[in-house]
Structure 1
């Protein structure tokens, strides 16, 4: 029963997220209204950047990352993350070829983040996650090189153990 509860909570959270996404999707005519307004100023500034590559692709890593949060030698909670790498177009195969090394390096970064209290309290505040995002991006660049532009946190959940 103790092992069934965390699984049930994860499934409930995923179901709630899917339901909320479906309920909050834009109306069919909303895209046409947004298109007529033109791109937001941030998009124009990003497009005008001279060193930005013209095309990127997002490479989703195959499995989630499970990080235990320890307290006094006991597992207090688990943090489950899904990550994706923003890279120059055409780099997906090179990234998948290096995925075992990437996963190992990312787990080291995630464990260090957990051990320094990064997943305590309100860990989803943007300031709290910015340090983690930067460390993951640096780790990706160490393994893949310049084609790795960013690491995106697609899903994150913390559940009590």
Structure 2
């Protein structure tokens, strides 16, 4: 009975200590201010420039503007089959984003089907020449792929597209039975 009592007692002590530490170390709750007072509360010295920065609306991750550029993440992944000896040996899955001129995100999304078609043609061609075989993530191989994708995107979208970014890439070999 004593052997069972010690672990249960330690369990309760550990849980109590964890809850106490969480309460002690948690940040204090933020006070909710009326909407007009938010900027004044965030600018402690009364500096009008700080109040303007604090009152600026927050941007969503897809709406990031850097030096006159936006980033448009294409909605769906690209799935590219790697064919060897007449059958699918692997699938390569990619996620792409486009670096576009500021304000061009809507234009990109309006023409996304045509853009995806052009990018898929490049990806299929890259797979057919063996670009996804062996060390397909080598710097030289990725440079060739990015350049080809950028050229296709610019041919489709013109000066709206500045660059193509490969966000994710994975190759899954298919087990042939």
1:76 to 89, 95, 100: 89
Q: What does 1:39-78 correspond to in 2, within 5 Å?
A: 54-78=67-91
Equivalenced residues, count: 109
- 1:77 alignment partner, SS class: strand
Matched, 1:134 2:147: yes
Partner of 2:56: none
In structure 2, stretches of 5+ residues that fail to align are 1-65
How many angstroms does 1:73 deviate by?
0.6
Provide the C-alpha distance between the structure 2 equivalents of 1:82 and 1:119, rounded to a whole number of angstroms. Answer: 15
Structure index of larger Rg: 2
Partner of 1:11: none
How many angstroms does 1:82 deviate by?
0.2
Matched, 1:121 2:121: no
How many angstroms does 1:126 deviate by?
1.0
Matched, 1:107 2:120: yes
TM-score by length of structure 2 reads: 0.60
Matched, 1:157 2:164: no
How many angstroms does 1:109 deviate by?
0.2
Relative CO higher for 1 or 2, CA cutoff 8 Å, sep ≥ 6? 1
